[in-house]
Chains A and B, each alone.
Chain A
Amino acid sequence: MRNEGCGLPSLLALLVGLPVCVVAVLNWPIVVAALLTVPLVAGIVAVCLGALSLTWLYVRTVHAVLFAGAHPDEPAPGPGDDPAHCSYHGGPAWADLCAVVGGTWRSSAPWTLLLAPHVALYTAAVALHQCAAWVCVGVLRAVDAALLVLRRVRMVCPHCFRRLGYPAYACECGRRHTAIRPGRRGILWRVCLCASRMPTLLLFGTADLHTVCPYCTHTLEHRPGEAPELVLPLFGGAGAGKTRLVNGLYRALEQGAEPFPDAYADTVGHGARQCLGEARAVLRPSARTLPTLPGHRVRGLTVRVGAGGSTLLLQLYDAAGERFARTSTVGELGYLGQAATFLLVVDPLGSDAVWSPLGPAEREELAPVRSRTRDPELAYGQVLEEVERRLGPAVRRARLGVVVTRGDLLRGTSIAPDGTGQEALSHWAEHTLGLGNLLRSARAHFGRVRVFHTCAVTDPDGRVDPSLGRLLRWVLEGLPSAFGALVEEPELLDGPG
């Protein structure tokens, strides 16, 4: 046995070595070439096999991460984050990339370095995706912002009076999304943590969602962002006629929209419905308006006006006259900083300059309806101070309408104005009503000042006085003409006779 074992290797050596020697003697380069070729070929094969293996490992890892659920868990939103899932471009893409690299490293380190081209390709794809996604985000945001600017949409919360950059939206699950615009949590849609899908832009219909104010969390029923908002504060002394005027303005819009099939003037929100829902009764000549209580919180009364395909959200602010008597209470009226048009409501009977010349019979007749505000400048001064504080130099672009009420009561009296033109009314307000100083001050501070004499009563047919339409036309200046057409004079609508 031992002999046999020794013999076999020798035989093999002989069989291999003999030809090699023969070849070597005859032609040694061939031998060298052969000797070099074998390891080379083996090396190439090994490299190929290794590359294939690495690639397979890499592809397997990619598949596991992207399709088989081996991706890292999405981190839960932090306390200040929106309660929505991140979109793929908002973090998971990079996380998946890191997971792929990490998984490949774990399975084939340090050979993973040879997968640099693969990883680079993946990284490039992710980067490209990110770029595309964020470009989309930017474009959509820009378009949305441009549309808001073009449509002159400025959103104001009627509860806390703060201007909204963008509303917040409450999901059905109760979570509040304050940054719903395209971003890392979605481009066209975002998915709440409860799996509900929500559009990201007003363009895509976010106004249909449950809108809330991001500051005071009150529900915003007027679908902010869909239409331009016109904030119209009314101020004046107690009993000046603000509440009646608000009802009259609303009723004028309502009546103005009646002839037009596609026009409407609807109250939005419980408060507006409650305050303006009885406008017909309030505007009856015999009706006495309930006072607006200074203890009640001021809320914007929103009226959605639609005409000619356009929509306008008119926010009327009717605060109690007592509020304008004190700086502390005026300071709470934050909506004064959001308006560009103001209405100062003046009771002509309150002024002693007006009352004194009246005859005893007139006084007896008018005494029950005379307000107790003797000096409208007090309210004007408080509001002017607040507006200047809030608007600063922009007050020069604001408009002030001085609305002298109780037109129906003054008709036929000695103190009735001579005409309805602006000049006549201004002269009448300065010289008859004693509002000269006030008007001068107003013209000095506000960009435009007009004087109106309104009559917030309905005729026996229930129609509002045309003076309200004139006031509304001035208020609605600069807006699409369709709105003005709602309150156009009938003769003007019919054209010059």
Chain B
Amino acid sequence: MGFAQLYYTSCERGLGGHAGYQFNAATPGVDARVLREVERFTAYEPPRSVPVEEVSAHPVSLSYAPDLAGARVVSRVVSNGPDPSGRPGNYFAHSLVWPGAGDTDAAVLPAELWGAGFWTQVPSPGPELPLLRSPSAPLDRVRTGLWQGSCGVRASEVARLLGAVDAAVDGGNPVLVVADSASVAHWVALVSHLLPPARARAVGFTTYCGRPGETFAHVVGVPPGTDTEGLRARFVVFRPPQHGWAGDGPRLPEITGAHRGLAHALVAAGPEQAPELWRRLARYGSGRERSLADWWPVLVASSVVEGPGRVTPEQWETARRWWAGASWLPRRTLAGALSRFLDGYGPDLPSGALEDLWTLAHRAGSASLAERLESEAALRSLRSVAAGEEVPEAVPLRSVRAREAARERIGTLLEGRAPGLHPDRVLALLAWARAARCGVPERSLERYGASAVAGLIQGLPEGAVPDPSVARLVRARAGVRRGLAGALSELPRERLARIAAGPVGVWTARDRDPAGVVLRELYRVSSPHPDPAGLVRELMDARRRARPYSPAGLPEHDLDTELLGRVLGPAGAPGPAEQTLVRLWRSDLLAPGVAGWIGDALTSVPWPERLRAWHRLAAALSGHWLRPSLPLEAVRVLEGWEGARPALRALARAPDGEFAQEGPWRVLRECSERAHPAVREVVRRRAAETLSARRDPDTLAGALGWCPAAVLDAYADRVGRALVGDGPDPALAASVFAAARSHAWPRDTGPRGAGDPGAGQTGAGGPGAAWSTVSEPGHAAGGAALVSRGSVPGAAADRAARLTDEVLSPVLSTWGRRRTNAVRRLLPAALAAEFDVWLRGVRGPGPLRRWWEGWDR
């Protein structure tokens, strides 16, 4: 192969077969369209400023077109004097048509052919021309480099020229070089040697053009002195100083775009070193790079990897984007570059760069680098999260290494020195960990809860509400709650109770963790419970379950008096004691005071409304396994009750006739006279209850006559309350009145039983004293004076009178006529009249009578 040659001039004979301008000779095989385009391309007019006869003064035009009907053509056109007809202005164009890309000769740059020896301007005698092989290229890089050093133009200006030519190839304004033809050739050669070879071969140029407005070259040379005013709109005008003269000339416009850095780098490298730079860049290029703007990111990207220094942040962005898209590079190259990235820039990598590099690592097939990147990204993200910075949503971490690193870092952050991360940061960390699927060390959460959260809680003023982030955090993580509960459990109980009563208790209420058992217990006891005894049982069970884990603050016993006191209140109430008692198991660890607490409920004299509960308690304790642990007094009460209970039962079951006799009452008195006051009180009230169940007046009278005075007191009290309340029963009042007026009161005085002491004796200190308490009419109710009655009739009458005077009188005096009439109707006729008289006496004279008596007086 080689270059096809073409001679074009005005001649007598040529390929056209006529005289005139035509191809004088050509290498066979050149396309006719190429010939036509070469004819147009090589049209030459000498400068108007130079006489047409001064052929030697006419400039030589070396022109190159990268695409003439698909062919690359370089032409040297010289003025050749007159044509064969004598007309001046003839020219000779010697053109070379580039061989195919596979030919070695194709590598020569067009501008290098300036001044070559093979150019001719003599027409060929024959029509055919041989191929030109290995043409000499005298304007090589060495000469161009030397010329650059002496051209007198600053490097920045050369760079701008380079940028302008590069832009012209991409459709920008062509560059008009106002200089002699040789200088233009050297400028073009310089630009060609600095550009990559493929780009240089795309630069069309002409070192001289008589009609610059009609040429399509990228670089157009015009002689000095050419008026360029009309061309400034269409060209970038470059007026280099005369060669060898150093001075400032008009400046070319600055390169717009970051690739001016590449232009400056090329100029600095010079024509001889530029190929090395391009070879280096070609290793990274995709093959699609054309302009300097295309190559700039390649330069930056390769500099990041190969350069001795570090690139600027702006260049880093360029490099990062480029590397992210460099899918054509072999994996080895990608992996090597990535490794250099991490080694050289690892800690300083911008956060946005890691994602691109991670993709790069996957493309490189380097799992270790990918993991390294992923870990780095995760750690950076965690740092940002901990610092409160805005971070993008985390994605699941793929590698085990990254997950472990992230997990470890989270643990370190949580366990950091005081005051530690704020809970909202911890929440963010947890959210991040959830999204990244790396998990959080539970131990770290516990420590955080025990240190930071507990500190925040303890530092709150009384009644203050914790930060919402604290609440969210504690609610979200059991580990934090565990740590918090464990830390708080070591506080004094009272303080812990106050804390537990607040939001902290709510947070931990539903936990099952043994560490928070104390806190949960205190929280639960801080608010009322519908079943306190059940609550006690639950709390006991919780203590039992937690005991194997030995949580801080856990009491030694499953049940102690403190728990009983917090839930059920102070000792003495038989109901709670009974409810608690029935829920106790033999396996429960009971504090020593528990039996005493229960026993206190038994030994306390129960209020009337607690009577039933006391009965149940006593019944429960009778056969309970806890009985041996009870205090002595409680045991005594139990024994006394067990002794009195049969008598009470017998009394209740006795028929009316027996009920009205002394017998059952004496038995009762004997059973209870030495019993514990609580027993006596219970017996007293039970007996009164039994009495109030009897309505037959005679039976009632007989029983009231024989019952102990204390029972009578209890009965009177009971009846009095019954008649005062809402909806009093007139039948009760009638039966009491009838009993009081009954003749069935006992008349035989006989010595009293042991339970009914004689006169003068006071029972103020002994256990039997209360049993004989009798309230004399007119005495204050509840008084402890002891009065003995000598005669039965007298005592019975007193009792009867007491019924009417102390029980019925205060009540019926307030009743209305309708109720009293109801009572009257229930009485027999004779007794009804007596009732009326008595009632009048109770009520006193009516207002009319009082008026009458007053008037009469």
Q: Which residues of A contact B (CB under 8 A)?
A: 237-239, 270, 288-291, 293-297, 320-322, 325-326, 328-329, 368-374, 378
Contact = CB atoms under 8 A, between A and B. Distances in A.
A295 B87 contact: no
A345 to B, nearest CB: 14
Given A291-B10, A297-B40, A325 B20 contact: yes
Contact of B43 (A296, A321, A326): A296
A295 B42 CA distance: 7
A433 to B, nearest CB: 19
A289 B16 contact: no
B832 interface: no
Contact of B87 (A289, A296, A378): A289
A239 B87 contact: yes
Given A328-B32, A372-B18, 19 more contacts: A238-B18, A238-B19, A238-B85, A239-B20, A288-B87, A291-B20, A293-B45, A294-B43, A295-B21, A295-B41, A295-B43, A296-B40, A297-B214, A320-B21, A322-B16, A325-B18, A368-B86, A371-B85, A373-B18
B85 A370 contact: yes
Given A290-B87, A297-B214, A368-B86, A322 B43 contact: no
A322 B43 CA distance: 13
Contacts of B40: 295-297
Contacts of A322: 16, 18, 20-22
Contact of A372 (B42, B85, B89): B85
B211 interface: yes
A290 B89 contact: yes
Contacts of B16: 322, 325-326
B19 A372 contact: yes
B28 interface: no
B18 to A, nearest CB: 5
Counting from the closest, the 5 A-B pairs by CB-CB distance are A295-B43, A372-B19, A238-B20, A290-B89, A322-B20
Interface in B80-127: 82-90
B252 interface: no
B689 interface: no
B192 to A, nearest CB: 25
B408 interface: no
28 contacts: A237-B20, A238-B20, A238-B85, A239-B85, A270-B213, A288-B82, A288-B87, A288-B88, A290-B87, A291-B83, A293-B21, A293-B45, A294-B43, A295-B21, A295-B39, A295-B43, A297-B40, A320-B20, A321-B20, A322-B16, A322-B22, A325-B16, A326-B16, A328-B36, A372-B18, A372-B85, A373-B20, A374-B19
Nearest to B230: A270
A70 B133 CA distance: 76
A293 B91 CA distance: 10
B71 interface: no
Contact of B21 (A288, A289, A294): A294
B324 interface: no
A322 B18 CA distance: 8
Contacts, number: 79
A291 B40 CA distance: 15
Nearest to B17: A325
Interface of B: 10, 12, 16-22, 32, 36, 39-45, 52, 82-90, 211, 213-214
A418 to B, nearest CB: 28
A288 B90 CA distance: 12
A329 B83 CA distance: 21
Nearest to B82: A288
Contacts of A369: 86
B174 to A, nearest CB: 17
Contacts of B45: 290, 293
Nearest to A238: B20
Contacts of A237: 18, 20
Contacts of B18: 237-238, 322, 325, 372-373, 378
Contacts of A370: 85
A186 to B, nearest CB: 29
Contacts of B12: 372
Contact of A373 (B19, B84, B90, B211): B19
Contacts of B10: 291
Contacts of B39: 294-295
B349 to A, nearest CB: 46
B23 to A, nearest CB: 11
A369 B82 CA distance: 12
Contacts of A373: 18-20
A373 B17 CA distance: 11
Residue among B39, B42, B52 with most chain A CB within 10 A: B39
A248 B533 CA distance: 135
Nearest to A374: B19
A321 B45 CA distance: 17
A237 B18 CA distance: 10
Nearest to A369: B86
A198 to B, nearest CB: 22
Nearest to B16: A325
B395 to A, nearest CB: 43
Contacts of A290: 45, 52, 87-89
B254 to A, nearest CB: 24
Contacts of B32: 328
B275 to A, nearest CB: 36
A290 B53 CA distance: 11
A289 B22 CA distance: 19
B435 to A, nearest CB: 46
A291 B90 CA distance: 8
Contacts of A289: 87
A238 B14 CA distance: 14
A202 to B, nearest CB: 27
A291 B91 CA distance: 11
Nearest to A287: B88
A372 B213 CA distance: 32
Contacts of B82: 288
Nearest to A292: B21
Given A239-B85, A370-B85, A371-B85, A293 B20 contact: no
A289 B32 CA distance: 30
A291 B89 contact: yes
A322 B17 CA distance: 10
Contacts of B211: 296
A237 B88 CA distance: 17
A293 B32 CA distance: 19
A4 B483 CA distance: 76
A242 B716 CA distance: 160
B88 A372 contact: no
Residue among A239, A291, A371, A374 with most chain B CB within 10 A: A291
